Chains A and B, each alone.
Chain A
């Protein structure tokens, strides 16, 4: 009963916040983007113990796939992205919204398939090697795309602007992100309770033991990454329409910004917990916006300090600290050392 009340209140806040804070609609939409990428990063990083630094690959790829699908359904892509073209290529309202729907879902599916293929190659790597390997993929993808003229090269791609009132447009993107985020949260909550969730945790805690118990480790790793990539791809697609114009290195495959932020959010909130990434993303986003507004010029220093403090002194994050301080809240019971062995 208390749970129902809690989740209803939360849903109400999610629905009401863009109307209560109309000036912050874009900020709130970005907050949802942070929550989405943090939750998806935690699916492999926190729950499975595979710390990918390359999840931003799916964000960038999602952007491009969504844009290319939308454009390709109406115009020839090569002519559309040609920088020297003079005539304007327009989209009707129907074409725009079909593009958003089909583009974002297509982006998710494309990213899921890419994750399965990339995972087949990279899941042979463990620990820091996996992190660097995946980072390499994201950087390489950015460089390749920026030299690929058919998709606009270093210039990037210009998408049509939201048809109609721009304030409504901001609401539209807020609810697209929020809807995806809520769906993702419910999905994670369900997934972590299944046998699949337990198997993924087993891989994190002792992969060799999991193999020795006959768990299909590679299959589960690929599936987890593909599911995670699906949601990042969808979020990337939405971002593409929200940003209108994007280019490969700074926006799409932004390894040093969003690519690192998602990891910091999860570390700050607490790895391997359901709520940790959400709390971390909110805390991080607030800190980031405050420093960008009030510590301008020092914002990167402040952010760097936050990362250092989190990684060095606060590795378990907010949720991890709570679990440690109040294990009984999480149903964790520990053997009292003075009771001894006789009960065995």
Chain B
């Protein structure tokens, strides 16, 4: 396995706030990598840096060997590096199937193909993925009228529709009914194993991330605190201290 995302010495400040200081980590191709850390430790900032939402102050970010830290959001998304949002972003006025069809991978289309209609195969795929996340029954409902958890599942399905190489998920289980979380873990794992999508996940729910990830990185105060397998992280005194507030 090789690193598909290679973050080296990334520093990002907002005014005087050091959001990320010299962060170095690797996301292995085909694996599930976790990113944990207490609130305000700079996890989402790191995600935003990777997908190009803001420029970084120093360091480098490589995706499939290509330097991407200077590229804009769309260009990075078109390379196949996709993210979901902590606050879900779906097209609320449209129904679920329309949301899925909007998420067709435009980067794989030529300009002329974008003037075509969606094929029966595209619709089938959209419905298959809605079924995959458990929204098949609600596929013709206005997506804005769904509950927050269901919108989150829809956003996940939309990301899968886009056929990304790597998917960055920002707290996929936050706001989801606890009884559904096991199902979601299973789906994330299947997205990884069946669709071959590399996952990089920010998660607060320790049970979820310990169950899924091969490798976990822990941030605290914007710095990389520890990394290793779930077992190593669970027993790392520094991680425990960071979460319990010791210094």
Enumerate chain A interface residues (CB-CB to B < 8 A).
Answer: 191, 193-196, 198-199, 201-202, 205-206, 208-217, 219-220, 331-335, 337, 341, 343-344
Contacts and interface: CB of A to CB of B under 8 A. Distances in A.
A210 B150 CA distance: 20
Contacts of A195: 101, 104, 106, 109, 113-118
Nearest to A219: B111
Contact of A193 (B77, B117, B141): B117
B158 to A, nearest CB: 7
Nearest to A223: B111
B13 interface: no
A211 B137 contact: no
Given A205-B93, A214-B77, A344-B149, A194 B141 contact: no
B135 interface: yes
B215 interface: no
A196 B177 CA distance: 36
Nearest to B176: A344
A198 B98 contact: yes
Contacts of A215: 74, 106
Given A201-B102, A208-B89, 5 more contacts: A205-B93, A209-B85, A212-B85, A344-B150, A344-B153
Contacts of A214: 74, 77-78, 82, 105-107, 162
A335 B114 contact: no
Given A206-B91, A208-B89, A214-B107, A344 B180 contact: yes
Contacts of A191: 115
A335 to B, nearest CB: 4
Nearest to B158: A213
Nearest to B183: A344
30 contacts: A194-B114, A195-B101, A195-B118, A196-B114, A199-B102, A205-B93, A209-B85, A210-B102, A211-B73, A212-B51, A212-B82, A213-B162, A214-B74, A214-B107, A214-B162, A215-B74, A216-B78, A217-B74, A331-B140, A332-B95, A333-B95, A333-B141, A334-B142, A334-B145, A335-B142, A343-B137, A344-B135, A344-B138, A344-B149, A344-B177
Interface of B: 51, 73-74, 77-78, 82-83, 85, 89-95, 98, 101-107, 109, 111, 113-118, 134-135, 137-138, 140-142, 145-147, 149-150, 153, 158, 162, 177, 180
A39 to B, nearest CB: 18
Contacts of B91: 201-202, 205-206, 209
Contacts of B134: 344
The 3 A-B residue pairs whose C-beta atoms are closest, nearest first, are: A214-B77, A335-B145, A209-B89
A18 to B, nearest CB: 34
Question: Main SS of the interface on chain B?
Answer: mixed
B116 to A, nearest CB: 6
A194 B114 CA distance: 7
A213 B101 contact: no
Contact of B73 (A196, A212, A333): A212
B140 A333 contact: yes
A344 B94 contact: no
B107 A194 contact: no
Contacts of B149: 341, 344
A201 B137 contact: no
Contacts of A335: 138, 141-142, 145-147
Looking at B73, B102, B153, B162, the one whose CB has the most chain A CB atoms below 10 A away is B102
B74 A205 contact: no
Contacts of B90: 209
B93 A196 contact: no
Contact of B94 (A205, A216, A220): A205
Contacts of B98: 198
B102 A202 contact: yes
A343 B102 contact: no
A208 B142 CA distance: 21
Contacts of B83: 212
